[in-house]
Chain A
Amino acid sequence: MDLSFTPEEEAFREEVRAFFRDKLPARLSTLVREGKRLRKSDMEEWHAILNERGWLANHWPEQWGGPGWSVIQRFIFDNESALAHAPRVVPFGVNMLGPVLIKYGSEEQKKQWLPRILDGSDWWCQGYSEPGAGSDLAGLKTTAVRKGDVYVVNGQKTWTTLGQHADMIFCLVRTDPTAKKQEGISFLLIDMKSPGIEVRPITLIDGEQEVNEVFFTDVEVPVANLVGEENMGWTYAKYLLTYERTNIAGVGFSIASFERLKEVAQMQKKGGRALADDPLFAARMARVEIDLANMQTTNLRVLAAVAGGGAPGAESSMLKIKGTEIRQEITSLTRRAYGSYAAPYIPEALEAGWNGEDVGPEDAAMAAPSYFNNRKLSIFGGSNEIQKNIISKAILGL
């Protein structure tokens, strides 16, 4: 039993740190550290920098432009990325569609789409959820009917994150309405500029337009854009949902945001002393810090099992639940830490590029919106209750 990284892994960590030091623009890391909302161009800028180094799709096989890293290397990279306040990789093309195409796509599809994910030619979004199909995703109703060389798609997707920027959407559609619900689903790649697609923004609890509704009315999709076999889409969808889980606990994000919380708790005063020295607040902080230290080791134990040939299956559900609980608790404490100055609602202050005068302490305007925004963590990617169902079935055998 040895919790330290090997000399090779330490050297890798240094290499990664040096990369962030040299290549991550200060403008971007400042925006991320302050919790501002990034623009499309900010995210594209960072993708291009990562891609130039060959580190954008860090879990893809080398053949398709990945760096060939181990799970531990990916863990180190993800952690260092968060600690450096680098923007997150937009996951839809790189982390979600990419692995599905690599495993199930045709050679033509791989050649057509994978390079365009890497070089930023296509911004992808995810067409999974529908108004009537959330946790019960297989209950989706959007239909695709084959007519000659095209599928004709009708229906509606929702919670489409950053769909307003997207060139393409990968969609789960029903191709066999008579089959059992999991067995009549197909996986289609659809051009967002197709006639008959309409995107309507949904404003979320924090005032941000992060997600959208996407409506499909007689949208024609070339048959060549079907991934794998017709009616096998559920298999691909599940693969996508369980694939990229090395970073699901978000340990790096939690460490970075906890460090920020410690700074705020030193700066903020309560009863004539630093908030960090208030026994009740200090206890709240210590509880989450201990939980996080435990989580980091739990995460590494799961990764070590994967690296040793174990399956990365349902254990990632444990990481998702605990990791999101910790992240939510930290955003909750950060909100509390600003006291009354968490209240002022200054929408402009949340956007990248705003340089007006702060109301109250620096960054206080972000604290409550960020807390409310991060309630999503325990809902998306399979709600934490769905994760508990998975644990019950797959780990506990109940």
Chain B
Amino acid sequence: MNFEHTDDRRMLADTLVRALRDGYPIETRNAGAYGEAGYDPAVWQQLTELGIVSALFDEAAGGFGGSGFDIMVVFEALGRALVVEPFLGALMAGRALAAGGGHDETLARIVSGETIAAFAHDDGATPLIATKSGDGWTLSGTKAVVSQAGAASVFVVTVEQDGDPLVLLVPADTAGVSVRSFNVVEGGAAGDVTFENVALSADARVGGEGQGQAIVDAAVGAGLLALSAEAVGAMEFVKEATLGYLRDRKQFGVPIGKFQALQHRMATVLLEIEQAHSAVINAASAFDGDDAKARERALAAAKYTIGRTGALVAEETIQLHGGIGMTWEYAVSHYAKRLVMIDHQLGDEDYHLQRYIALG
């Protein structure tokens, strides 16, 4: 048993944390996050040049990491700095391509950071339908609230089918593909991606017959781990910020951290963050294991835990800060929004609790 990260992984985390601390203050972050693009291309370029995306993939996929614990340390660091740049899309789309095989050039460009990719999974009001047409397919329908869709030049798209889902690689400039982009509440951008009679040839397919579910599980599993780790990173930041505030802020002539009502709330927050951290460690550990059911269960448990705890930490952070925690200017308000809204991605607390039960 060992709860220390390897030296390589610790160096990676330190490099990333330092780069973000020096180059990504909340003002920079917010300028990108609430700007039209919903991210900062210069920051993205700088971070990808550090090899941050490569760390999310193994050598076979052109990276230098790729384990559950690599994903964990990277996304914890990203969460701690509230990064909005399109790492999640790179991870999920790249993992899908790596699991399916083929499309090596696209995968290489995703891993190097040259190509921004998005994973288009949740259906919108008009679910995506693929109609067989010759050797290929015609796509119609909408994928909803795809993270950083506007920035992406390629989509990895899933289509629900009887039996096995179909996974397709679709360049954003394919005829009939359109994106309605918008900012999201906590900063960053997403988009509804509409497919209007989009004709795709057979080689758009990712993976072969019967591989679809395994590819989707690989991508979504990595995404669940990443979001859970990101949440823990954000929790660590607001924990420190809130503790600082409890020590500095005075009312009735004493620091408000001297009041037992607030101390006990903060102690509970600490406990639950530690539990969430353990949930992510469990998920990262199971992520690389051979037992598929144990992996899916641990991922569901982690996403459930961070959904529940994320909302608790966000609400307590705002309450313990009082009015200042409600202001746009103060960083913790943006973290609180992220901690709540992360429950709206890839299935919420209830969804994952049900999934955990069904897998039992």
A-to-B contact residues, CB < 8 Å: 1-6, 9, 72, 279, 282-283, 286-287, 290-291, 293-298, 300-301, 304-305, 318, 321-322, 385, 387-389, 391-392, 395-398
Contact = CB atoms under 8 A, between A and B. Distances in A.
B125 interface: no
B278 A392 contact: no
Contact of A1 (B3, B255, B260, B264): B3
Interface string B262-301: 1110111011001111110110110000000000001001
- Name, among A3, A5, A282, the residue most crowded by chain B CB atoms within 10 Å (CB to CB): A3
B141 interface: no
B1 A388 contact: no
A293 B255 CA distance: 37
Contacts of B247: 397-398
B304 interface: yes
A392 B1 CA distance: 29
Main secondary structure of the interface of B (DSSP, over half): helix
Contact of B1 (A9, A389, A395): A9
A307 to B, nearest CB: 9
16 contacts: A1-B69, A1-B284, A2-B285, A283-B353, A290-B356, A293-B301, A294-B282, A294-B301, A294-B305, A318-B270, A392-B260, A392-B263, A392-B264, A396-B246, A397-B247, A398-B262
B243 A398 contact: yes
Closest 4 CB pairs of A and B: A297-B278, A392-B263, A398-B257, A388-B267
A4 B285 CA distance: 9
Interface of B: 1-6, 69, 243, 246-247, 255, 257-258, 260, 262-264, 266-268, 270-271, 274-279, 281-282, 284-285, 298, 301, 304-305, 353-354, 356-357, 360
Contact of B267 (A4, A296, A305, A391): A391
A396 B271 contact: no
A2 B2 contact: yes
A392 B242 CA distance: 13
A273 B274 CA distance: 37
B2 A385 contact: no
B1 A304 contact: yes
Contacts of B4: 1
Contacts of A321: 267, 271
A396 B278 contact: no
A2 B288 CA distance: 11
B64 to A, nearest CB: 17
Contact of B282 (A293, A322, A398): A293
B350 to A, nearest CB: 8
Nearest to B279: A294
A318 B271 contact: yes
Given A298-B275, A395-B270, A1 B246 contact: no
A389 B263 contact: yes
A283 B354 CA distance: 7
B308 to A, nearest CB: 8
Contacts of A322: 271, 275
B41 to A, nearest CB: 33
Contact of B356 (A1, A72, A286): A286
**Of residues A4, A6, A300, A392, which shows the largest number of chain B Cβ atoms within 10 Å of its Cβ?**
A392
Task: Name the residue in B3, B246, B262, B276 with the highest tally of chain A Cβ atoms < 10 Å from its Cβ.
Answer: B3
Given A290-B304, A301-B274, 8 more contacts: A4-B1, A282-B357, A283-B354, A290-B301, A294-B301, A297-B281, A322-B275, A391-B267
B106 to A, nearest CB: 31
Contacts of A395: 270
Residue among B263, B264, B271 with the most chain A CB within 10 A?
B271
Nearest to A391: B267
B263 A304 contact: no
Nearest to A387: B267
